């Protein structure tokens, strides 16, 4: 993973950019050594990590860190940490202000000509290399810094595995900037939206208009990044935050893997003129409407669950973040008591299907690929990867819930027999 996935990222970028979206293969009469040298030559020439690319990437990185610490936000607590005697860490959540401040600053820089946002798509190759190298550099610093400070936790004694999974559980700076939350919420999704906006700006510059397909991805990526920002306080009790350590897996994935491999739907549209992927306007309008409807289900499903848990803990924050949607809270919900003292929400959307939010995620991922058509495999990397991941995650969640809740979970399965799609499956 630490070697193969970065190479796969380069391979997909080369195919998307220099092979018309097709798999790069050896030319006639070209042996494998010559072929690999050819690919390396493309990376060296078109993806060299230039000073300009380093500056763009790390100025953005530092700017987002400053936004995290300085902009208005709310404070919430994470789960009790057993190894800290039940201590609950305080998290500062300023994602909403950071998100909209970033959008405003990016718009000002673009319209004043100080930094046209389409520079991101024009410099994609060098930025890809900088992101990959940054993933390695930050992982190395994080690992050895934890060892030097004696902050390592749950080490196995196998250095490569420990480097991959991480050494430190809750790395922080200035007592306020939690690196895991900072990396997970802001960097990958803000970058992904930036790439889509860059493609829209480049299209407008070249053609005088933005294609409906690119507009669709800007909308989709805006909604997803906005949801991550407005729901930042909800992730403080998730598995990633209270259990996963801060290692190569989380660091590289958020700095490079997510934004620069999930973006191949956008990259395909950026590399092809709009005339090559025109849609029937009625079909296009139907996709927009369907996406917004599914987004409503997804947003309110997650809101119902998070607000229910927060009400149980007595920590509910009523925030007027965009968008405010109907049915975000289930009043007097039907619940199932468990032996652990927790309750299972069996009402709202969770009264129709136990993993309906995963169905919405599946739709999002596949619509990002579908918008590009079927002429290239690379926009379908994320839908394929995500589908496999979500199936595994659903199975894992079910097994954990069965083990944790026992008969109460069986009662929930009988009460709500559908897993993904109400009345179907």
Per-residue model confidence (pLDDT) at position 82:
85
pLDDT of residue 313 exceeding 90: no
Q: Is the pLDDT of residue 418 over 90?
A: yes
Question: pTM of the entire structure?
Answer: 0.96
Domain boundary, last residue among 237, 257, 278: 278
Last residue within a domain, chosen from 249, 278, 307: 278
Same domain, 75 and 136: yes
**Based on the domain organization, do 304 and 181 belong to the same domain?**
no
Same domain for 173 and 316?
no
pLDDT computed for residue 239 by the predictor: 87
Residues 210 and 286 in one domain: no
Q: Are 388 and 316 found together in one domain?
A: yes
Question: Which tens digits make up the pLDDT trace of 205-248?
Answer: 999 999 999 999 999 999 999 999 999 999 998 888 989 999 99
Residues 326 and 237 in one domain: no
Residues 383 and 414 both lie in one domain: yes
List pLDDT tens digits, range 269-295: 999 999 999 999 999 999 999 999 999
Q: How far apart are CA 171 and CA 145, in angstroms?
A: 10
Q: Is the pLDDT score of 59 beyond 90? A: yes
As to burial, measured by CB atoms within 10 angstroms (0-12 exposed, 13-18 middle, 19+ buried), residue 172 is middle
Looking at the structure, do residues 187 and 288 belong to the same domain, yes or no? no
Tell me what pLDDT residue 1 has. 86
pLDDT score at 159 = 96
Q: How far is CA 8 from the centre of its chain?
A: 19
Domain end residue (candidates: 278, 307, 332)? 278
Q: Do the Cβ atoms of 198 and 217 come closer than 8 Å?
A: no
Q: Is residue 317 very low, low, confident or very high in pLDDT (cuts 50, 70, 90)? A: confident
pLDDT of residue 394: 93
User: Structurally, how many domains does the chain consist of?
Assistant: 2
What is the rounded CA–CA span in Å between residue 130 and residue 198? 18
Q: Are residues 255 and 286 in the same domain?
A: no
Q: Which of 180, 303, 169 is nearest to 231 (CA)?
A: 303
Residues of the chain with pLDDT > 90, as a percent, come to 93
> Which of the four pLDDT bands, split at 50, 70 and 90, describes residue 109?
very high
Q: Are 411 and 353 in contact (CB under 8 A)?
A: no
Phi-psi group of 279: left, alpha or beta (phi > 0 → left; psi -120 to 50 → alpha; rest → beta)? beta
Domain span at residue 347 reads 279-425
**Could you tell me if 401 and 302 lie in one domain?**
yes
Pair 239, 357 in one domain: no
Q: Are residues 271 and 290 in the same domain?
A: no
**Residue 291 vs residues 216, 244, 296, 321, 424: alpha-carbon distances, Å:** 9, 32, 9, 20, 20
């Amino acid at each position: 993973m630490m070697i193969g996935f970065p190479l796969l990222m380069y391979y997909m970028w080369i195919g998307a950019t220099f092979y018309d979206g097709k798999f790069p293969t050896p030319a006639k009469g070209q042996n494998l050594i010559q072929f690999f040298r050819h690919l390396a030559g493309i990376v060296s020439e078109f993806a060299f990590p230039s000073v300009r690319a380093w500056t763009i990437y790390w100025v953005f990185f530092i700017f987002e860190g400053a936004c995290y610490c300085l902009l208005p936000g709310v404070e919430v607590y994470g789960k009790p940490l057993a190894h800290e005697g039940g201590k609950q860490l305080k998290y500062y959540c300023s994602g909403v202000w950071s998100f909209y401040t970033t959008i405003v600053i990016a718009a000002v820089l673009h319209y004043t000509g100080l930094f046209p946002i389409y520079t991101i798509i024009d410099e994609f190759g060098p930025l890809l290399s900088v992101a990959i190298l940054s993933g390695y550099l930050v992982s190395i610093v994080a690992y050895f810094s934890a060892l030097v400070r004696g902050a390592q936790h749950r080490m196995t004694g196998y250095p490569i595995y420990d480097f991959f999974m991480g050494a430190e559980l809750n790395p922080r700076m200035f007592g306020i900037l939690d690196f895991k939350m900072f990396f997970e919420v802001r960097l990958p999704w803000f970058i992904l939206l930036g790439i889509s906006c860059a493609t829209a700006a480049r299209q407008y510059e070249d053609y005088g208009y933005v294609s409906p397909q690119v507009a669709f991805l800007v909308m989709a990526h805006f909604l997803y990044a906005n949801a991550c920002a407005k729901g930042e306080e909800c992730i403080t009790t998730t598995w990633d935050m209270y259990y996963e350590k801060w290692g190569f897996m989380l660091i590289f994935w958020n700095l490079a893997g997510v934004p620069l491999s999930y973006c191949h739907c956008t990259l395909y549209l950026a590399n092809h003129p709009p005339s090559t992927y025109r849609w029937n306007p009625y079909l296009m309008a139907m996709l927009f409407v369907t996406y917004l409807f599914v987004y409503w289900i997804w947003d309110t499903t997650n809101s119902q669950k998070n607000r229910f848990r927060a009400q149980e803990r007595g920590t509910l924050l009523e925030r007027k973040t965009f968008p405010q949607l109907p049915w975000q809270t289930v009043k007097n919900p039907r619940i199932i008591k468990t032996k652990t003292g927790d309750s299972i929400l069996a009402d709202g959307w969770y009264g129709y299907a136990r993993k309906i939010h995963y169905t919405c995620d599946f739709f999002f991922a596949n619509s990002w690929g579908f918008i590009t058509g079927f002429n290239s495999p690379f926009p379908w990397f994320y839908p394929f990867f995500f589908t496999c991941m979500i199936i595994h995650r659903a199975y894992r969640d079910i097994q954990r819930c069965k083990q944790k809740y026992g008969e109460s979970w069986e009662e929930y399965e009988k009460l709500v027999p559908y897993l993904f799609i109400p009345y179907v499956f």
